[in-house]
Amino acid sequence: MEYRIEHDSMGEMRVPADKYWGAQTQRSYQNFRIGTEKMPKEVITAFAWLKKAAALANFRLGKLDEEKFNAINAAADEILAGKLDDNFPLVVWQTGSGTQSNMNVNEVIANRGNEIAGKKLLHPNDDVNKSQSSNDTFPTAMHIAAVCEIREQLIPSMELMIETFKRLEKENAGIIKSGRTHLQDATPIAFSQEISGWRNMLEVSMEQVEAAIPGISRLALGGTAVGTGLNAPQGFAEEAAKAVSELTGYEFVTAENKFHSLTSKDELVFMHGALKALAADLMKIANDVRWLASGPRLGLGEISIPANEPGSSIMPGKVNPTQCEAMTMAAVQVIANDTAVAFAASQGNFELNVFMPVLIYNFLQSVRLLADGMRSFNDNCLVGLKANREVMEHNLHNSLMLVTALNPYIGYENAAKTAKLAYEENISLREACVKLGFLSAEKFDEVFHPEEMV
């Protein structure tokens, strides 16, 4: 491998000749050989937006000339286009402020910008990092990445599942089945009502996610090292937030209190709480689906779902609810990630949180797992969900909890006696009620209508 010599304030470093990063990135790359978890691409993308916005703000404020602005802008655009992906090698397990990833982006933009300009034009600190500090850029990149991924990945997946459930509600209108509570027989429910519960879980989760977006749309940029805004010109924070909004197409504002935005990560914790709530609902929905589809002969068998893959290496013909299992495993990981996010956010010592890389790594993994998991669950399972009407009707009319309909006519205790006798003697509720003398056969038929119990 060929190398070139780069230098920083600590001296010279050998850097691979075919890479655009500089000495500070190389030091981090060599000093933190920990794990395989790289800084998420979403964070690098957010940094590219951030550097474009900062350059635009500095240019508008007269702090950066047009030639330097254009060079920064061009190099950042190449990052956004994915042309420089192999220039960001740093792991999550680095400095807790994310300083080295900020400098990684600064160095790549500076070196590639200089190459584009055909001369030594940009300095990574003096120009690309102008009016900034890693302490305000990394939390800003976290918020930009979070908003973009939630808007572009998570919410569309939620909308997709909601629309599928709406269709399933219409298709299954009029089907009455036995409800279940505590895994025991309960009073009847329309299958469309059961589906509506799943749909509304996602709609409520959507409301909770939307409610958390304003918090993560507040940017720390302009706070610089400790929140005082040292070395950032007057108006930079507002101009930079405006530029981020223009470039990304999403509304961002400058954080009112930069001391809070540097040291506290409560807005990300709040949003991840909404993600955890969504994961909990998805766990519940996926478990309901696989219980209802259990069988094919020895389970509930009230619905069928697509048979996607062979389910066993030893049992021929076995098919498993694999999409349900994938969705529930993703939900487990998201719920676990919530602990890491919350604990990392609690480490805001004095003027700066120094657990930011692990926080955003887990946060973005949660968004990615939920978005991808919902899309897979929807496309490979829910869209092909079918009601087994015969089984539902059989189970409905064999449920002892239909006796609840008799409460107004014979009372709770007599209804309980009727259900007990029907169970013990394996006879119908009608036979038991008549045998106990609580109602005549004609009166029973007059008042007993399961389809009206929903």
Judge whether 272 and 359 are in contact, CB under 8 Å.
no
Both tokens of 441, joined, read: 């056969």
What are the phi and psi torsion angles at 427 (to 5°)? -120, 175
Judge whether 285 and 303 are in contact, CB under 8 Å.
no
Confidence (pLDDT) at 331: 98
Domains of the chain are 3-130 (1.10.275.10), 136-384 (1.20.200.10), 399-453 (1.10.40.30)
Confidence (pLDDT) at 143: 98
Catalytic choice (9, 205, 312, 394): 312
The residue to which tokens 């879980």 are assigned = 201
Confidence (pLDDT) at 317: 85
Confidence (pLDDT) at 313: 86
Inter-CA distances, 216 with 42, 269, 420, Å: 15, 10, 57
Query: What is the C-alpha separation between 191 and 189, in angstroms, rounded?
Result: 6
pTM assigned to the model: 0.95
Confidence (pLDDT) at 377: 98
DSSP characters over 397-418: HT-GGGGGGGHHHH-HHHHHHH
What is the per-residue pLDDT across 239-250, written as a single tens digit (0 to 9) for each? 999 999 999 999
Confidence (pLDDT) at 206: 98
**Number of other residues whose CB lies within 10 A of the CB of residue 228:** 12
Q: Any residues with CB less than 8 A from the CB of 359 and at least 6 apart, and which? A: 142, 265, 268, 340, 341, 344, 345, 353
Confidence (pLDDT) at 348: 82
Both tokens of 281, joined, read: 């609902």
CA end-to-end distance (rounded Å), the chain = 73
**Number of other residues whose CB lies within 10 A of the CB of residue 297:** 5
437, with CB counted inside 10 A (0-12, 13-18, 19+), is: exposed
Q: Is the peptide bond before 306 cis (omega within 30 degrees of 0)?
A: no
User: Of 171, 156, 180, 208, nearest to 382 (Cα)?
Assistant: 171
Q: Could you say which DSSP state residue 127 is in?
A: I
Q: How many CA atoms lie within 13 A of 378 on its CB side?
A: 22
Q: Is 428 a known active-site residue?
A: no
Confidence (pLDDT) at 376: 98
Confidence (pLDDT) at 402: 92
Judge whether 387 and 172 are in contact, CB under 8 Å.
yes
What are the phi and psi torsion angles at 365 (to 5°)? -60, -40
Confidence (pLDDT) at 162: 98
335, with CB counted inside 10 A (0-12, 13-18, 19+), is: middle
Residues of the chain under the 50 pLDDT cut: none
Q: Which helix (H) or strand (E) holds 253?
A: strand 253-254
Catalytic choice (182, 260, 272, 399): 182
Inter-CA distances, 262 with 148, 152, 223, 349, Å: 20, 26, 8, 10
Confidence (pLDDT) at 450: 84
Both tokens of 171, joined, read: 């298709």
311, with CB counted inside 10 A (0-12, 13-18, 19+), is: middle
Q: Which helix (H) or strand (E) holds 187?
A: strand 184-190
Q: Is 312 a known active-site residue?
A: yes
Confidence (pLDDT) at 452: 87
